[in-house]
């Protein structure tokens, strides 16, 4: 998994171990896991189409995204790459320093060319013209080249926004721009995940022991 750049924190993530207690189980989480498993089985499809896992923090979005590419690499030898979007942006910004050994092109090229890309935490970076231009460049390039992209985001669409128990104050479209949200409808199937924060629930259960 070194070439895929899956962080150590997520090395344990598999589709098989995406489990939840009866208290945390929701229909949307079961659907999300089934969609991830089906994605692996059906890959590649005649029309390249990715997934957009959307939901509150701690719900398991990254777990499923990592589980997918690990299965694709292991079972189908699919060249895949994991990048956290805020980290990628920081690395690009650092490459502008004259003493940097990296260039913007060297950082972006693997992201643009990976057969399957996981882009984690879309929308987490504070919006700016540069951030939105970078999002647009990556997504438009991958769309035009028929590359499959799997994304995760804590930000919801407007129709779901009012019901979010932990609303972050913005919709996804407000974070990345309406044109790019529209582009994602063409690139990905949206998987809305609802439920409790797994990490908080585990800590609460530990305190009860």
pLDDT at 62 over 50: yes
Which CATH number applies to 8-208? 3.40.50.300
- Closest listed residue to residue 89, CA positions, set 138, 51, 31: 138
Residues near 194 by Cβ (< 8 Å), separated by ≥ 6?
Answer: 26, 28, 29, 55, 56, 59
Select from 181, 189, 176 the least CA-distant residue to 148: 189
Q: Where are the beta strands (DSSP E) in the chain?
A: 50-54, 80-84, 116-120, 148-153, 188-192
Query: pLDDT tens, 78-124?
Result: 999 999 999 999 999 999 999 999 999 999 999 999 999 999 999 99
pLDDT digits (tens, 9 = 90+) for 188-200: 999 999 887 655 5
Give this prediction's pTM. 0.89
């Amino acid at each position: 998994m070194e070439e895929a750049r899956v962080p150590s924190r997520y090395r344990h993530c598999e589709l098989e171990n995406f489990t939840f207690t009866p208290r945390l189980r929701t229909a949307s989480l079961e659907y999300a896991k089934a969609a991830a498993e089906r994605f692996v089985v059906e890959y590649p499809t005649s029309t390249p189409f990715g997934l957009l896992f959307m939901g509150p923090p701690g719900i398991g979005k990254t777990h499923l995204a990592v589980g997918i590419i690990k299965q694709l690499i292991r079972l189908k030898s699919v060249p895949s790459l994991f990048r956290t979007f805020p980290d990628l942006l920081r690395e690009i910004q650092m490459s502008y320093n004259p003493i940097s050994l990296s260039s913007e092109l060297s950082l972006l090229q693997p992201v643009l060319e990976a057969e399957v890309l996981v882009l984690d935490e879309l929308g987490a970076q504070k919006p700016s013209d540069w951030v939105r231009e970078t999002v647009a460049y990556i997504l438009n390039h991958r769309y035009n080249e028929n590359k499959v992209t799997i994304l995760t985001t804590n930000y919801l669409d407007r129709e779901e926004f009012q019901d979010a128990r932990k609303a972050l104050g913005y919709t996804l479209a407000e974070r990345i721009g309406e044109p790019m949200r529209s582009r994602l409808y063409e690139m990905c199937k949206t998987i809305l995940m609802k439920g409790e924060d797994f990490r908080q629930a585990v800590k609460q259960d530990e305190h009860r022991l």
